[in-house]
Amino acid sequence: MGSRLPLDYATATGANFLTAAALAAARARTSQIEPRQSFDHQRLWADLLWSPALAFNLFAEVDADKFVARWWPRAPGKVREVRFVHSPGWLDPAYLGSLRAFDAALVLDAGGILGVDVEYHERAKAETPKPENMHRYLQVAERSGTFAPGALDSLKARSDLAVLWLEHLLLLSMLQHESGAWSSGRYVVVHPAGNTDVADLCARYRRLLQDDSTFSSVTLEELIDAGVHLRATAKALRKRYVPSVPVRMTATRSP
């Protein structure tokens, strides 16, 4: 496919990861199992362009507090932990009862959570939210007060906004959880400026919100240029992930 490393070589060398910190984070994450998780280990190690692998390279040694201050100015507290390929409860009906997860989750010490979705070469693709979970999806959405009148009518149908909606709902379900563990949160989508499909999805999704305080998006280039990485790390990220000539890439991810 052009972007795949031989798996044995990839796992032995960790070549998919740009820094020692990213490699250590990948090894730590693959050594633990969140209950009922769905996690493609082979792509993590061997697919050079897989978006969850990019999340490790972006956030394993990021200045997390500086990142949060930039894209969530009113966030409570400091970042105490960064989790990868994380869900608060895979298939847990107390959340969404789904397999949705964040590529990275920044956990703050004052009950805040910032869930990050990295979209690198994904394209707009219509999906249908699971009908058997629709009652729960709508319950979380309506309780949140986030969505504009009439927005849920389009979001609950087959739509290319389905994945954004479900991952945002995962964040909102955490804020509504009976444990009270999370007092505030934000869902952030990271994408290359040249991925016009994802940029358009974020713009259209934002127009469906009457309260966008829990939703944000940032381009990969803005993130790399924000001074939240060591200079060598930013250079390596730019070299691998920011092509000098725009290229349209059309891989897909499962919702």
Tens-place pLDDT, residues 59-80: 999 999 999 999 999 898 999 9
Angle at 127 between CA 122 and CA 129, to 5 degrees: 125
Are 205 and 215 within 8 A, CB to CB?
yes
Instruction: Give the span between the Cα atoms of 18 and 237, in whole angstroms.
Output: 8
- Residue 172: phi and psi, rounded to 5, are -65, -35
pLDDT mean over 202-210 = 98
Model confidence pTM above 0.75: yes
Share the mean pLDDT of the chain. Answer: 93
Cα separation, 219 vs 112, whole angstroms? 23
Mean predicted confidence (pLDDT) in 174-191: 96
Instruction: Identify the CA nearest to 116 among candidates 158, 154, 79, 144.
Output: 79
Q: Which two tokens stand for residue 151?
A: 């927005």
* Domain residue spans of the chain: 7-241
pLDDT for res 51: 96
